[in-house]
Copies of this chain bind each other. A is one copy, B any other.
């Protein structure tokens, strides 16, 4: 078969696009910057969404749904917020089309102009806090722990499938609290939920940290984040959790009376992850043959392919396969038996490898007489001959092992790519030659941060939560610094 996927070495960026398109995750659309999530990609998103949704509910959150549109004036109520989002908004100005009286087809009806323009939500803090104003009166109404699964639109100039699209799917949590401390606790709790999900389900190790001021969410007092490392040494922000202080409560005048009947502004958090995580998943694990999916979120965990000549052999194999399918299903393992006869087994092998199915079982007629099958794992491409007796438990253990191995492999790569540097030359050298995270001293000013970004395209990914204080000198200015921060070039 033809080599469909560009190798990583040849062109990492093209490799990524090839995987996304050829594995059937997504497709380009006719609308600039918007993508189509194809059935296989959407099945993957469903697994991720359902897992996260359960984690949110287990931590006391409920789902709700707020309007797609935000009145223009709402955006402006929080100064930093509008500054952050005004430049990338889709704006609805009219509510009707009509036939052009000059015969040029369908045109926007000038008589149907909105009095106030509506913004397609880039995020929902404003419309939600405008609502919370009517829902919150007393401490008894708090905490309010609401999540929303929704589509949002940010008019990005340069887009890439999953990583940066004009429209994307995400969840946004918006919580309201009686005290500053409780809101900070919630911010950190949800950061930990994200880290748990990305590490233990997606098998991608992350560093938890806090953003520098200039990388903060527009309207937040603090932005917590998890940062992951891709195979090309670039970082990717995989999730953020914001402590919003009383900023939105003040902007929308949301006060509550406490037990002593004293009025105070409500404390807020918001937190989100998006379909961008699928981009992280692809780039953290896959190889030149295609996608590699961690078993815990793979839409299909096991595929069984018969190797046969003629209907008689197929009949015998199908009988055995049927039993294996049933045993695996009984263990809660998703499995497909692919006995289609219009393509050769080798073609099927390549196809399921491309789709990243964690385990492949091949069954030939001779295997059956020996009471064995061939098991291939996608992550290492190792093949094993395995006895049919006890096969399902073998597979169950193997899936766990693959999950763990994928995480460990990614973690080893990530750990090898955190480099401490103490001079500017070293800093440049590591960024250019080795990439990954660079741990370096920074003098804490936005000016220096901006200058470093201009010179190297590296940004401060985060100040790790588990940072040890250590005195040193800023990598660029030589000014005193009390801690190292993590720099990287990033998606």
Give A residues with C-beta under 8 Å from B. Answer: 27, 29-31, 34-39, 41-43, 45-46, 62-76, 82, 86-98, 105-106, 108, 117-120, 127, 130-131, 134-135, 140, 146, 150-151, 153, 155, 167, 169, 342
CB–CB A127/B31 < 8 A: yes
CA distance A88 to B95 in the complex (A): 6
Neighbouring B residues of A86 by C-beta, 8 Å: 96-98, 106
CB–CB A62/B90 < 8 A: no
Neighbouring B residues of A146 by C-beta, 8 Å: 39
CA distance A241 to B64 in the complex (A): 28
CB–CB B93/A127 < 8 A: no
From DSSP, what is the main secondary structure of chain A's interface residues?
Answer: mixed
Q: How far is the CB of A140 from chain B (nearest CB, A)?
A: 8
CB–CB A76/B106 < 8 A: yes
With beta carbons under 8 angstroms apart, the residue of B46, B67, B342 that contacts A29 is B67
With beta carbons under 8 angstroms apart, the residue of B39, B97, B118 that contacts A75 is B97
Closest Cβ neighbor of A74 among chain B residues = B30
With beta carbons under 8 angstroms apart, the residue of B42, B96, B130, B167 that contacts A63 is B42
Task: Enumerate the 4 nearest inter-chain pairs by beta-carbon distance, A residue then B residue, closest first.
Answer: A34-B67, A39-B62, A86-B97, A37-B65
CA distance A71 to B34 in the complex (A): 12
CA distance A41 to B39 in the complex (A): 28
CA distance A35 to B75 in the complex (A): 19
Q: How far is the CB of A41 from chain B (nearest CB, A)?
A: 8
Neighbouring B residues of A95 by C-beta, 8 Å: 88-91, 155
Neighbouring B residues of A150 by C-beta, 8 Å: 151
- Given A86-B96, A91-B95, 8 new contacts (CB under 8 A): A30-B71, A31-B70, A36-B67, A36-B131, A69-B167, A87-B97, A88-B96, A96-B155
CB–CB B151/A68 < 8 A: yes
CB–CB B27/A131 < 8 A: yes
CA distance A130 to B36 in the complex (A): 12
CA distance A27 to B66 in the complex (A): 10
CA distance A67 to B152 in the complex (A): 11
Closest Cβ neighbor of A275 among chain B residues = B65
With beta carbons under 8 angstroms apart, the residue of B29, B64, B65, B91 that contacts A92 is B91
With beta carbons under 8 angstroms apart, the residue of B64, B74, B97 that contacts A42 is B64
Given known contacts A71-B30, A106-B72, A127-B29, A65 and B46 CB-to-CB distance under 8 angstroms: no
CA distance A150 to B167 in the complex (A): 13
Neighbouring B residues of A63 by C-beta, 8 Å: 39, 42-43, 46
CB–CB B36/A71 < 8 A: no
CB–CB B108/A117 < 8 A: yes
